[in-house]
Amino acid sequence: MFLPLLFFAFALVALWQNNELKYQYGCCKEISYEGRLDLAQKEGLFEGKKVTVPDIVFKEEKNRVLGASNAEKRIEVSLSEQKLRAWEGDTLFLETPVSTGLRFWPTPKGEFRIWIKLRATKMEGGFGRYYYNLPNVPYVMYFENDQIPGWKGYGIHGAYWHNDFGTPRSHGCVNLPIPAAEKLYYWANPILPEGKTSVRATAENPGTRIIIY
């Protein structure tokens, strides 16, 4: 009786350590900061299942004028509601269902800033049956704060590998339907310069504030 209980205890500790290490590492392993599509990639892998990578055609947005609006932009993510709301002052710009982190890959709570935007990138992470390798993830906005550095890979982005928005489904990021992700991407700061596929936040072109609760 004692040995089975001891084995079970060791198994629980191992499981906890694996997920704790994963939480410390973060969400998605960033492959490239160039923000470009890889047109040769037609197939990805998500939780043991092959997924088709859609042909994503990005529209060219005209460069907006910095400081054109005095209203502060902010993005709020409610983990309990599984919803994202984007505000410009008191005006609601966008509301959409989202999928945040599963139990063992929780989306961090707190106040953050977008530090880089990428129109597309490859993401890889997880382990075992939760491993994923996803080319051309669209409309990626990585965020950070003093406690959660950018290299941990938490972000807001479009998702083509599931349609379960409104329920936790991710490995820590905030998944959006692609049309909503596109709209949010071009609205949020830092502003993407015309003709570019990525942009980092600067003092002159800061990232939008994100509040996750």
Residue 19 pLDDT: 39
Q: Which parts of the chain sit beneath pLDDT 70?
A: 1-26, 28-32, 60-70
How many domains is the chain built from?
1
- Here the CATH number for the domain that contains residue 195 is 2.40.440.10
Domain membership of residue 134 as a residue range? 2-212
Helix (H, G, I), strand (E, B) or coil at 204: coil
Residue 174 pLDDT: 98
Residue 9 pLDDT: 41
Beta bridge partners of 197: none
User: pLDDT tens digit string along 44-71?
Assistant: 988 888 999 988 878 766 555 554 566 8
Give yes or no for a cis peptide into 190 (omega within 30° of 0).
yes
C-alpha dihedral (97, 117, 155, 165), degrees to nearest 10:
20
Phi, then psi, of 180 in degrees rounded to 5: -70, -40
Residue 32 pLDDT: 66
- Give buried/exposed letters for 32-66 (b at 16+ CB in 10 A, else e): eeebebeeeeeebbbeeeebebeebebeeeeeeee
